[in-house]
Amino acid sequence: MTPSRSHKTTPSYTPTQNACKMCTPLGATLVFQGIEGCVPLLHGSQGCSTYMRRYLISHFKEPVDIASSNFTEETAVFGGGANLKLAIENVARQYSPEMIGIATTCLSETIGDDVPLILNSMGNAIDGTALVHVSTPSYTGTHVDGFHGAVAAVVDRFNPAGKKIVYRPKKKKKINLFPGMLSNEDLRHLKDVFADFHVPVTILPDYSERLEGPSWQEYQAIQKGGTPVSAIEKMNVAVHSMELGSVLGLMAEKGTQTAGTILSKRFGIPCTRLPIPIGVKATDRFLDALSQISGRPVPERYKKEKWRLVDAYVDGNKYVSKKRALIYGEEDFVVSMAGFLAEVGIIPVICASGGKSKTFNQALEAILPETLIDQIVIQNDMDFTCMEETAAGMPENLRPQIIIGNSKGYAMARRLKIPLVRVGFPIHDRVGGSRILHIGYKGAQQLFDNIVNTILTARQTESRVGYSYM
Amino acid sequence: MTGERTHTVNPEDIKKEILAKYPPKVARKRAKQITPVTSDEKDGLQVGANVRTVPGIITQRGCCYAGCKGVIMGPTRDIINLTHGPIGCGFYSWLTRRNQTRPPSDDAENYMTYCFSTDMQDEDIVFGGEKKLKAAIQEAYDIFKPKAISIFSTCPVGLIGDDVHAAAREMKEKLGINIFGFSCEGYKGVSQSAGHHIANNTIFKHVVGLDDTVMDAKYKINLLGEYNIGGDGFIIDELLNKCGIELVSTFSGNSTVDQFANCHTADLNAVMCHRSINYVADMLETKYGIPWIKVSFTGPTSTINSLRKIAAYFEDQELIDRVEEVIAEEMIPVEAKIKEVKERCQGKTAMMFVGGSRAHHYQELFRDIGMKVLSAGYEFAHRDDYEGRHVIPDIKVDADSRNIEELTIEKDETRYNPRKTEEEMKALEEKGYPFKSYDGLIPEMNAGSLIIDDISHHETETLIAMYKPDIFCAGIKEKYAIQKHGIPMKQLHSYDTGGPYAVFKGAVNFFEEIDRMLNANIWQYLEAPWQKAPELSAKYVWE
Ligand code: SF4
Ligand code: SF4
């Protein structure tokens, strides 16, 4: 059933219908999954943990544990300090973790529990386990804010100001990479790239193994994999940091504290900020930057990947040229995706995100050719209902022909009768969501093939003849 | 697949092993919730339940809000369910259960694919969110003109003191449609069970009895506690219709608000999930005089018994005969399937930790194909779901249950109408007819098995290591951890993407599913030869 709400480009109404964002601590708990031996703990009622576990599990199809401090009604009234301590003790005893990552929920934030104070009183550690806290009220941000907030909190904790740099290795120069919220396959690809460059790297977070691990010979309380705390502690001796995400970069410029800014302010480590490398141009930039930072040439195989990709762009051009797309998801993801679509000739007529960094437009303007910007509706702080209305309200010759985004847009795509290409997070109505490669030439190759084939499928289905030959 | 199985494991030993890992205080608490069944003499066995999970011990339980919005109200398609709170709570409960619905036409009201949230922001937390809530209700009304709107309170709402009930009253008056709120903040109670109670109470107060139209049917019943996961409700409905029995309402699979409004006109309440809804059955009896019985449509035997029970209640030979005909017909494919599957499943073992009734109901399906249940337990049940209703008077009311409203119900002055006279009821009872009776899960359990309430990870691991089951049933949160052990795992909350599993047709589906899972090829690929004995295969290559 289609609601008859007038078509607006920004939501001016009160409730959020079919949100295009998740809540803040979800992002933080995902980061904690990407640290070796880390157990995430949500300070609040158990429901939040259960919901977020369920959500992450349905995407990754792997075990995901998130502990809770399990508020009662009394705790909610009198404060959750005692519960938090008890929860920390119990987690420490059961898991003997390297670190417990503590994120707040709306409840503990509303009460105003002073978590840093509570943790301080415990010496910020328990039996050698580091306690790291990130404040994540959902009424002030989205899962993306929780994600970056947690990365910054972890870096901050293990690289305190004034930490003496004992030794900055001259030979094995290391780079810090803060990739943002990417898929497992993306993270694996990044590791391959650095390995091919022969450049040592610390990627934070890296959940690619923990959230896609082998079967167990014996029980693993915490699945293997993730960035070791010992590596995070050494981030201050790296020669360079890289942070991916256009919006994140703009936010950092405007003063938001990110992992990269912490390390540059405290230890003078330069930070290169780049868009997520989706598509040829963004990948060119990424590899180029890496080559310059490391002083090493781009390995041969990437040149070959690029040739193949550009060749495919040429072959497939007639199917995608001037096609119109609706894309949605995290702001940084949408920005890079828009850049990629523009380069293959698809017009991203609607670029939407539930985020509201206020830099979304600016980031898109920076990545898209000027001629395209006027043809595009940019929507931040957006929900699926408004997106759908915007699309449905467009004249036939401007309306999107393909939708690109996570599983949450399915109902919209179905009602609009426009094919959906699933990318990003969460993907819970298909298998392999975490194995989608978005980045690098190879990722662009897969995206491109997938998009062209989706368009071809639609054409074939609509065709009366049912061509079996393109 | 799994290693050598020892059927001689002593459940007492497992309990000891489990508790050994806990600090004394936790061990004492958990000991009450772990009950070994050592012999066939099961009288007096107790299972501590409905108590709070220890902070930091990862539970599979959800919150009160989840029970209220997701479980009970989720399956009703034509009420706009508006979550009052920050975005996450609403987002995560957005169509994540597999309850199905069948609107009469494509453009009939169906809000199930929508997720409405006030998406509270900083300023709402600081200055209060009632204004935004009312504006949201107004807007939902303007856009959709629904029959009813309900409001769900999340944790922060309770804390900042927004009065959702006042807002509901005000808007109800203004808009002239039914609007009501739930005080189902996530911190209430100890699990989703609290939310079931709050949801049902609210529906009883605000909806039930609003429409007195009496359906033109001879045998009219309500089905309580059936949520139409995987389409179970559809095939139960079909089966009942085949027998000539009509459903006035289902709480709440495939339901509409009008069905609730009208449910007091049915002549019998059949309770599926005792946990989530037995109090509604009680209230309907007290207020309107409708008797209730416990039924189960999971498994052929239970289905047969339940159909016979319903027929016997109406004491009409025509219905009794029709039911027997249907049973005879429906059992043919079931028996054939059992015969086929049993060969491959006989002697295998299962465990199930789920919900508040399925850990009981599903045991029968495994037994039918020759399998044995080694251990079982609920996630959010109360003691009566384990031990039977006779313990209800003995259950201690703790702080967590005390803050959940109990309605005081009285006879409806005009509409109370006992469906059977006292003598008739007595006569039936004397013949052994079980009104208001539920014996719980314990009678199902074999000697040598173990009951565990609100099972934790560590306990699951110990069970797997010591019992080595062939299949494990629980929910998605446990699924992938279990499968890492190479043990097939069946979701009994959402059925993975399978189902329906109810009544006769569903049983056939279930048998096929278990057969597929137990006998799938995939498990043998877990280890390649070179992984099993790396030195050996290396040698082979080089020699
Ligand atoms: S209360 Fe906040 S943290 Fe918890 S699920 Fe809701 S939005 Fe997320
Ligand atoms: S905030 Fe409360 S209501 Fe919302 S998911 Fe968490 S526990 Fe449940």
User: A94 vs B143: CB contact, 8 Å cut-off?
Assistant: no
Q: Which of B27, B31, B52, B97 is catalytic?
A: B97
pLDDT for residue B403: 79
For the question of whether the overall pTM of this predicted structure is more than 0.90, the answer is yes
Same domain as A458, residue A391? yes
- The mean per-residue pLDDT over the stretch B503-514 comes to 97
**For the sheet containing B449-452, what is the strand order?**
B34-37, B449-452, B372-377, B349-353, B471-474, B489-491
Please enumerate in sequence order all residues whose Cβ is within 8 A of that of B379, keeping only pairs 6 or more positions apart, or say none: B60, B61, B191, B353, B354, B355, B356, B454, B455, B475
B155 lines ligand 1 (CB under 6 A): yes
Residue A295 lies in a domain: no
Same domain as A314, residue A258? no
Q: Does A353 touch chain B (CB under 8 A)?
A: no
User: Cα distance from B338 to chain A (closest Cα, Å)?
Assistant: 32
- The mean per-residue pLDDT over the stretch B265-279 comes to 96
- The mean per-residue pLDDT over the stretch B101-109 comes to 89
pLDDT for residue B543: 41
CB pairs under 8 A between A and B: 228
Mean pLDDT by 10 residues, chain A (470 residues): 35 77 96 98 96 95 95 88 95 95 96 95 95 95 96 97 73 91 98 97 97 84 94 96 98 96 96 98 97 96 96 95 97 98 97 93 95 91 93 95 97 95 96 97 98 94 78
Distances (CA, A) of B40 to A281, B45, B49: 72, 11, 22
Residue A294 lies in a domain: no
Are B64-186 and B219-341+389-430 the same fold in CATH? Answer: yes
For the range B532-536, what are the long-range contacts, defined as Cβ-Cβ under 8 Å and sequence gap of 24 or more? none
Same domain as A47, residue A105? yes
Same domain as A322, residue A419? yes
CATH architecture of B64-186: 3-Layer(aba) Sandwich (3.40)
- For the stretch B518-533, pLDDT in tens is 998 888 787 776 766 6
Which of the residues B60, B77, B84, B87 would you substitute to probe the A interface, choosing the one with the greatest number of A C-beta atoms within 10 Å?
Answer: B87
- For the stretch B436-487, pLDDT in tens is 999 999 999 999 999 999 999 889 999 998 999 999 999 999 999 999 988 9
Full domain range(s) for residue A346: 300-462
Residue A9 lies in a domain: no
Q: Does A261 touch chain B (CB under 8 A)?
A: no
A107 lines ligand 2 (CB under 6 A): yes
**Partner residues linked to B206 by β-bridges:** none
User: A1 vs B109: CB contact, 8 Å cut-off?
Assistant: yes
Same domain as A142, residue A187? no
Which of B56, B109, B187 shows the shortest C-beta gap to A89?
A: B56
CATH of the domain at A316: 3.40.50.1980
Q: State both tokens at B85.
A: 């709170």
Instruction: Give the Cα-Cα-Cα angle A315, A321, A323 (nearest 5 degrees).
Output: 135
Supply the ipTM of this predicted assembly: 0.91
For residue B243, indicate whether it is catalytic: no
**What percent of chain B has pLDDT above 90?**
85
- Count of domains forming chain A: 3
pLDDT for residue A10: 44
pLDDT for residue A78: 87
Domain residue spans in chain B? 64-186, 219-341+389-430
Query: For residue B6, is pLDDT > 70?
Result: no
Q: For a substitution probing ligand 2, which of B53, B154, B160, B183 has the most ligand atoms within 8 Å of its CB?
A: B154
Residue B93 CA: nearest ligand 2 atom is 5
Q: What secondary structure does DSSP assign to A81-116, as a single string?
A: HHHHHHHHHHHHHHH--SEEEEEE-HHHHHHT--HH
Q: Which of B30, B49, B61, B63 is catalytic?
A: B63
User: Cα distance from B81 to chain A (closest Cα, Å)?
Assistant: 11
pLDDT for residue A220: 83
- For the stretch B150-182, pLDDT in tens is 999 999 998 999 999 999 999 999 999 999 999
> d(Cα B279, Cα B436) in Å, to the nearest integer?
11
| CATH, range B219-341+389-430 | 3.40.50.1980
For A40, the closest chain B residue by CA position comes to B56
Q: State both tokens at A136.
A: 């994540």
> d(Cα B467, Cα A189) in Å, to the nearest integer?
41
Distance (angstroms) between ligand 1 centre and the Cα of A105 equals 6
With H, G, I as helix, E, B as strand and everything else as coil, classify residue B48.
coil
A47 lines ligand 2 (CB under 6 A): yes
Instruction: Give the Cα-Cα-Cα angle A21, A23, A26 (nearest 5 degrees).
Output: 110
* B449-452 vs B471-474, strand pairing mode: unpaired
Same domain as A180, residue A152? no
Which of B56, B139, B154 shows the shortest C-beta gap to A91?
A: B56
